[in-house]
Chain A
Amino acid sequence: MKHPTRRRLGALVAAIMLTTGLAACSIQIESAPDPSIPKDTMLVAADNGSPLFERNFNPYMTNKRTAAFYMYEPLVVLDNVTGEEHPWLATGYELPDPSTVVFTIRDGVTWSDGKPFTPKDVAFSFDLLKKYPTFDLQGIWSYIDTVETSDTTVTVHLKAPDVPAAQLIATTLIVPEHIWKDVPDPSTFRNPDPVGTGPYTLGNFAAQQYTIDKNPTYWQADKVAAEHIILPATNTQLDVATKGYDWAYSFISDVDGAWVGAGNKNTYWFPPGGTVALFPNLTKAPFNDLNVRQGLSLALDRKAVGDSAAEGYMDVAGQTNILLPYQQNLLDPSIPDSGLVAQNQQKALEYFAQAGYTQQGGKLVDASGTQLSFTITTANGYNDWLKGVQEVQKQWGAIGIDVKVASPQPAAYQLALRNGEYDLAMGGTGGTGSIFRDFNGLLSSDYLKPVGEEAVFNFERYDNPEADDLLTQYKLAIDPEKQKQLGYQLQNIVYNDLPVFSLYYGGSWGLVSNAKFTGWPSEADPYASPKTYDSTPLLVLTHLKKVNDD
C-alpha cells in the first residue's frame, strides 16, 4: 500500500457520489395486497396497538379496541361532517318540551347472543354512566335528571331546558343489561367477549391483529357487505400504502402520489372535521382591541397557512365556525364570500393605525415606538399546527410584527390554554356536528374563568351578553328553523367580533380502496365522515357494496 490514505479517500468519495447518484432517482412504492386475504374481507387501519393489542372491548373506556364501535351502537348516529342525525337504535326522538326527551326504541333488534334488545338496556346503560362517572366522557349526567322507560320508549327528564343536550345523550353507546348487571366492577371490566347489537362480532383475537365477523342476526344484516374485517395493530403509512388496505384514516403526504399512485383503485376524501384556529387572549392588550384583531385577521393569507399545514389538501376556513361545503345549508347567506376573509395588508394597516400602531422602518410600532410583539403557543408534536404557525409567523412578520413561537409539550400547552396564560394559541374549534355545541364552547360566558384558573371551554375568554342571550334561546328552541336563525346570528358574531381567527379546516383523512368494496363516502356522496372510529363507521359499513367479479 503505497498511498493508503489517498486510496481510502478515493473510495469514500466514490461511495458518496454513488449514493448521491442513487438519491437522484426516486422509487415508487406499489400496493401489493396479501393474496391470502379473501375478497369479502376488509383490511382496515383503524386500531393501533401499544404496539400490541389489549383485549379491551369495554365501550365506555377511552382505550377500548376501536372495533367496539362496530359492535355497540348508539340511539342516534350523528355525522359530524354534515351535522345530520341518523336514527339508529332509536327510530327517532322528540321533545315534548325543552326539558324532556322521548326516544322511541327500535323493535326487532337482538343482541349478538340472541337476547332481545329492550328500552331497559338503554336505561341500564344510562344508569351505568351515572354510577361510574369515569364512563361518562360526554358528561350526559350533567344534563339528565331522571330516566323512565316504557315498553317502546325511553324518556329522559333534563335538569334544565336544553334542547341540544338531547343529541348528546342520543349518541351514548348501549350495552346489554343481562350481561353487564353481573359484572362485579364495570369500571375496570375489559369485556373480553363483547356482546352487542352492532354489525360485527369478535372473531380471532391475537395481540398483533384481530378479526371481526359479520353479525348474522344484525338488524340490518342485508346492508352489511363485508363478511370479515381485519384490524392489524401496526399500521404505518408505508404498510397502509403497500399492503392493500381497504380503509384507513390517516394523513399521508403527497396523497396523490403515495396513495392513489400505489394503485389498488385507491381514492381519498378529506372532508373538514373541524376548524383549526388561532385563539387570541382577549383579556390581554392588544388583543382586547377589535381594531388589532381586525388588523391581524386581514394580514393573514389563510390559504397559505392551510397549504403549509396540510400540504394543500385542506380548504381555507371561513370566519364563521361552520364547516363548508357540507354545512352550507346552515351558513348565513348574508355573510359575504361565505365568510372567507381575504388577505389585505393595506386595510390591515389601516385598522392597526386606528389602534395606534404604525409602520416604522418595517416594524409595526405603538406610540412609544415599541414594536408589536407576541408569542404564538402551539403543542409540541402537532406538526401540521406547527407548520401553520410558522407560516403565520412569516405573514405577520411581513407587516412588521415580531412573532415568536412556543411549542411546549401537549400537557403544558393544554394548561396554558385553559389557564389563559398565552398571547395567541393554536387550537381546534367546532366540528362536533352540532351547531349549538360548536358555538356554545366558543362563546358562552358560562365557561368564563379568570386568567390563572382553568377554563374548560372559551379559552379566549370571550364575554358578550348578546352571544349568551342567543345561546340561551337556542337551548329552548325546538324548531329547526328557529335554531337555524339563531345560528346565523352566532355566525355573525364570530365573523364581526373575531373572538377567534379561523385558519383552515382540520381534515378527516379518509383513504379508501375501491378494489373490493365500493360506496365509500366521497365528495360526490358525502353521506358520512370517512373516519374509522366513533359511530359514523356504522353508516359506512352499512352502505358499502361488494365489487362483483364480473
Chain B
Amino acid sequence: MTSVTIAPGSADVSAAPRTSGSGGGRAWGYVARKAGLLLLTLWAAITLNFILPRLMPGSPADAALAKLAQNGPVSDATKAAIEAQLGVPTGNILEQYVAYLHQVITLDFGVSYTFYPQSVSELVSTALPYTLVLVGVVTIIAFVLGTLLGVLAAWKRGTWLDTLPTLAGSFASAFPYFWTALLLLFFAGYVGRLFPTSGAYGPTASPQFTIGFLGDAIYHAALPALTILITSLGGWILGMRNTMISTIGDDYVTFAEANGLKPRTVALRYAARNAILPNLTSFGLALGGVVGGSILVERVFGYPGIGYLLFNAVTNQDYPLMQALFLMITVSVLIANFLVDILYGVLDPRTRR
C-alpha cells in the first residue's frame, strides 16, 4: 500500500490536510476579523474615556478657578466669565454620551480649558506628529536592534555576546524613564552641552520640509530618543533571547542543521524567523508602555509632543484636552496593534488558514 493514508472523518484538525481554498479570501477574512476587533476595542476605549471623568469629583471650571485663586480671590463675575468661555457640558448622561460620540467621530473635542480659545483638536494635531515620529521611529529602531542583539545573544549563548547585552539590558530596562532622561539632560545637555535641552527644533525655526529643518529636528530629538532607546532596548533583547533559545531547541532547527544549512540561514531563517512571531505580539502590547514612558521623557525634555501636553492637561485639570489626548494615545496604540496583527498575519502562514 503506497498511497498516503489520511484517517477519514478525523477530528484531529492539525493532522488533516488543508484544502487549498482561496488563500486570498482567508487572508481578507483574517484582516476583517482583526478590523472588527479593532472597531469594537475602539468603541470600548472611547466609552471608557467618556465614563472615567464622570466618575470623578470636581467640575472643570473649579479647576480653572483654583488656578486663578492662587493669585487672589475670584469674583462671581470672573467665575461666570470663565464658565462661559469654557462651555461646561450640559444635558443628561445619555445626551452627553451621544454628543460625545458625535464629537469623537467629527474629531471635534471642544475647546481646551487651559489654552482657550485653542481647540483641543488644534492642540492635539500640533503635538501628535512629534510623538508619533519620536516614539514610532525610536521604538522601531529599538525593536529591530534589540531583536538582532537578542538573536545574537541566544545564538552565542553563554559567551560575552550573551551575558553583556542581557545583563546591561535588564539593568537599563529597570531604569525609570524619567530618571534616565534627567541624567542625559543634565550630563549631555547642561554639563556637556552636546545636545539641546528642550524643544523639538531651534528656537527661531518653523516646521518645514527642508534638509536643514529635519536635521535640526533630529538633533533636538536626540536625547529623548536616546532615553527611550536605552530603557526599551533591554526588553527586546531579553524577549528575543528567550524565545530564540526556545526555538533553537525545536526540531526544525535540529533538522535544518542535520541538513547542513549554513549557520546564518539556520539562525535567521529558521530559529529567529519563528522566534520573532511571539515577540511581535509583545511589540504591539509594549507600545503602550513606550508611549507612557514618552510622557515622562517629553516632560523632562520639554518636547512638544502628546506626552508633554497630557502632563500639562493633567496638572491644569484640562478635562477636554486630557480626554482627547488619552483617546488619541489609545487609538494610536490600538491602530499600531492592528498593524502588528496584520504584519503577524503576513509573517505567519498559519494565521491564513
Contact = CB atoms under 8 A, between A and B. Distances in A.
Contacts of A208: 199-205, 304
A239 B190 CA distance: 9
A3 interface: no
Contacts of A429: 72-73
B262 to A, nearest CB: 29
A85 B123 CA distance: 39
Interface in B246-266: none
Contacts of A432: 72
A505 interface: no
Interface string A396-438: 0000000000001111111101100000000111111000000
A52 B116 contact: no
Contact of A206 (B69, B70, B203, B304): B203
A49 interface: yes
Nearest to A457: B73
Interface in B291-348: 302-304, 308-309, 312, 315, 317
A50 B65 contact: no
Given A49-B304, A63-B118, A234-B302, A135 B81 contact: yes
Interface in B39-94: 57-60, 62-63, 65-67, 69-82, 84-85
B72 A274 contact: yes
Given A27-B191, A51-B312, A139-B81, A411 B59 contact: yes
B201 A50 contact: no
Chain A contact-residue range equals 35 or more
B147 interface: no
Nearest to A62: B116
Nearest to A50: B115
A233 interface: yes
B231 interface: no
A234 B199 CA distance: 7
A6 interface: no
A27 B67 CA distance: 35
A414 B203 contact: no
A410 B66 contact: yes
Interface string B203-237: 11111000000000000000000000000000000
A69 B76 CA distance: 24
A138 B126 CA distance: 32
Tier of interface size on chain B = 35 or more
A415 B78 contact: no
A233 B199 contact: yes
Nearest to B61: A411
A418 B62 CA distance: 9
B303 to A, nearest CB: 8
Contacts of A29: 190
A50 B123 contact: yes
Interface string A48-74: 011110101000011100000000000
Nearest to A413: B66
A228 interface: no
B126 A52 contact: yes
Contacts of A63: 114-118
Contacts of B67: 410
A4 B76 contact: no
Nearest to B203: A209
A137 B84 CA distance: 11
A161 interface: no
Nearest to A15: B171
B170 to A, nearest CB: 12
A332 B74 CA distance: 27
A374 interface: no
A505 to B, nearest CB: 13
Given A63-B115, A188-B117, A233-B199, A410 B73 contact: no
Nearest to B299: A51
A138 B71 CA distance: 13
A187 B71 CA distance: 24
B118 A415 contact: no
B163 A4 contact: yes
Contacts of B197: 236, 238-239
B199 A428 contact: no
Given A234-B199, A457-B75, A427 B115 contact: no
B322 to A, nearest CB: 12
A381 interface: yes
A429 to B, nearest CB: 7
A329 interface: no
A167 B123 CA distance: 37
Q: Which of A54, A187, A242 has the most CB of B within 10 A?
A: A54
Contacts of B66: 379, 410-411, 413-414
3 closest A-B pairs by CB: A139-B77, A410-B66, A411-B58
19 contacts: A51-B199, A56-B118, A133-B81, A136-B81, A137-B81, A139-B77, A139-B81, A208-B205, A233-B199, A236-B302, A382-B70, A408-B57, A410-B66, A414-B62, A415-B57, A418-B65, A428-B70, A429-B73, A431-B72
